[in-house]
A and B are shown apart, each in its own frame.
Chain A
Amino acid sequence: MEITREQVEHVANLARLNLTEDEKEQMITDMGVIIEFANRINEINIDDINPTAHVIPINNVFREDDVNPSFSRDELLYNAPNKENGCYSVPRIVE
């Protein structure tokens, strides 16, 4: 199946990926090949089959609403790429 440049750009935007021009070209080819392969599942008619999202019989998982200790702010900020005054730092979004 043909994957267009517009589709690649649209999907990359949804996935928040800034693909380079070379990456876009490669993606057009690779996604085309994979989607063509994946289209095998559209060769059979299975409209009346229920989808399975989860294979083991589990539903309604509840836990007690307990208060437990959490991580400290320092522990959580330890891996932050940029932090300021005990907060994550990101570019300004409100002018």
Chain B
Amino acid sequence: MDLIKMTAHELKDKLETKEISSEEITRAYIDRIDKVEHKVNAYITLTTDKAINKAKEIDIKRANGEQVGALAGIPIAIKDNMCTRGIKTTCASKMLEYFVPPYSATVVEKLNKQDSVILGKLNMDEFAMGSSNENSYFHKTMNPWDLSRVPGGSSGGSAAAVAANEAVFTLGSDTGGSIRQPAHYCGVVGMKPTYGTVSRYGLVAFASSLDQIGPLTKDVKDMALVMNTITGHDKLDSSSYNNEYDDFGKYIGEDIKGKKIALPKEYFSKGVQSEVKEKVLAVARKLEDLGAVVEEVSMNMTDLALPAYYLISSAEASSNLARYDGVKYGFRAKDYDNLVDLYKQTRDEGFGKEVKRRIMLGTYALSSGYYDAYYKKAQQVRTLIKNEFDKVFESYDLILTPTGPSTAFKIGEKINNVVEMYMNDICTVPINIAGVPALSMNCGFDANNMPIGVQFISKAFNEKTILQVAYAYEQNRNLPDLTPQI
């Protein structure tokens, strides 16, 4: 029995029948981390001693017949931009290198309440800004499928940890594709839920109107399991949606006959690698074989999403990151002349290149004389994009697209070309702009044996249908073993 290859729902079954203990599972994962972490570099902070103690505690609870949570004894990990009380939360930045939060994010509280075992905090692009994980202050995470390639970003550590079996599942955050794009590069399942579904309380803010926490898992059933745990209204987050959430796995296993699926031709046009296009279209054919109706549609506004995204997200980032001033917490520069110079010197030394670039862009877009041309206009474009999604969802249950135009590229390959780097997010950003949910999962490999992701998008609060169709596809996709050889 290879514990590290098993999914959360499989482990849960075995834990419930007492076939295995949480301590055994946790030790198996810690052994795996010892074996591969020096190659993958998925973590920033490991909390393995705490994890063993927690696992033992849960085993005792279970042995005594006490009630345990839905994820009891499952070893998981969390992106390092979610606050964990008493455990360093760095956001992969020099600015927060030694920051230890006095409280936990709501999602972390929820996972604790369900008795999951936290193995540590995962690497990311600094303040979640990036598409390759090359912007971390600490180290670069490698793609487990090919250690010379990037795992994607910004939740690259979260995706790599799942792909390398260094955690059963992980949490990431997605502002413009930061869960789905690394899920695509690393061959795992990643979902950005509908905006407002998962509380952002305790998530270090990047772009507040776009950020959403979501899981990265080994399979679709696990996705439903984790989503059931982390969603729900939170009075600590005023943008959290007050809704009764149904079981996300409600339709899993149900027939997809008659489901209407749209293929927007703009997501398959130039710039998309031919193997990516081919494998994603093969998914459409497979869904047709399973009884779905697939039709091509046009979404003309797609091209405007990326420039609007960079303006909106940078503007919100410049405002959110104003709090890092070297006074209340975090890094402070050593040499300064006065208070304003303390702010300026601290921010220049504490932030990395990409973060400064986005603060500058955002400040520019919000500054006097440019606000109407950039920020306001981008928000108007947002209306058009949202309307276009609404219109497609009047006639279709789902939209199917590639998750990204290409598979994982080599480390360093795009680092000096800003716009080319931003183009990696072209298939994922429209979803954040419209606030709708989307899931990425593996649908094959390219000639270099790098994973290819397919993206399923639905209207707001309809994750159930995404999971139903994704599960139907997963059961029929006939792919080789999804474990990279490290």
Chain A residues within 8 Å of B, Cβ to Cβ: 7-8, 10-12, 14-20, 23, 26-27, 30-31, 33-35, 37-42, 44, 46, 49-56, 58, 61, 63, 71, 75-76, 78-82, 88, 90-91, 93
Contacts and interface: CB of A to CB of B under 8 A. Distances in A.
A58 B383 CA distance: 16
Nearest to B301: A44
B235 A63 contact: yes
Interface in B295-321: 303-304, 306-308, 310-311, 318
A2 to B, nearest CB: 13
Contact of B338 (A11, A41, A53, A91): A91
Interface size class of B (residues with CB under 8 A): 35 or more
Contact of B418 (A12, A30, A40, A78): A30
Contacts of A81: 326-327, 329-332
Contact of B384 (A30, A49, A79): A49
B360 interface: yes
Given A16-B344, A49-B380, A37 B419 contact: yes
11 contacts: A11-B363, A16-B340, A19-B348, A30-B357, A35-B361, A37-B307, A49-B383, A58-B241, A58-B242, A81-B332, A90-B339
Interface of B: 98-100, 102-103, 194-196, 209, 235, 238-239, 241-242, 303-304, 306-308, 310-311, 318, 322, 325-332, 336, 338-345, 347-348, 351, 353, 356-357, 359-361, 363-365, 367, 373-374, 376-384, 386, 418-419, 422, 433-435, 460
A4 B166 CA distance: 48
Given A56-B435, A81-B331, A93 B360 contact: no
Contacts of A93: 338-339
Closest 7 CB pairs of A and B: A55-B435, A51-B379, A81-B332, A79-B329, A18-B344, A61-B238, A15-B363
Given A17-B348, A23-B348, 16 more contacts: A11-B364, A16-B344, A18-B345, A18-B347, A19-B348, A31-B357, A34-B357, A34-B361, A39-B307, A52-B379, A52-B383, A55-B435, A78-B100, A79-B328, A80-B329, A88-B328
Contacts of A40: 303-304, 307
A38 B305 CA distance: 10
B342 A90 contact: yes
B344 A71 contact: no
A46 B381 contact: yes
Contacts of A82: 332
A31 B363 CA distance: 11
Contacts of B353: 26
Contacts of A37: 306-307, 310, 419, 422
Given A16-B325, A16-B343, A78 B310 contact: no
Given A17-B344, A58-B196, A80-B329, A46 B384 contact: yes
B377 A46 contact: yes
A71 B311 contact: no
Nearest to B314: A34
Contact of A71 (B102, B341, B343): B102
A63 B240 CA distance: 13
Contacts of B330: 79, 81
A34 B419 contact: yes
B115 to A, nearest CB: 25
A90 B338 CA distance: 9
A76 B102 CA distance: 7
B270 to A, nearest CB: 16
B237 to A, nearest CB: 9
A14 B98 CA distance: 27
A18 B319 CA distance: 17
Contacts of A38: 307, 310-311, 365, 374, 378
B359 A17 contact: yes
Given A15-B318, A16-B343, A52 B382 contact: yes
B128 to A, nearest CB: 18
Nearest to B417: A33
Chain B CB count within 10 A is highest, among A54, A55, A61, for A55
A17 B349 CA distance: 9
Chain B CB count within 10 A is highest, among A37, A50, A81, A90, for A81
Contact of B310 (A34, A54, A71): A34
A94 to B, nearest CB: 11
B194 A50 contact: no
Contact of B241 (A33, A50, A56): A56
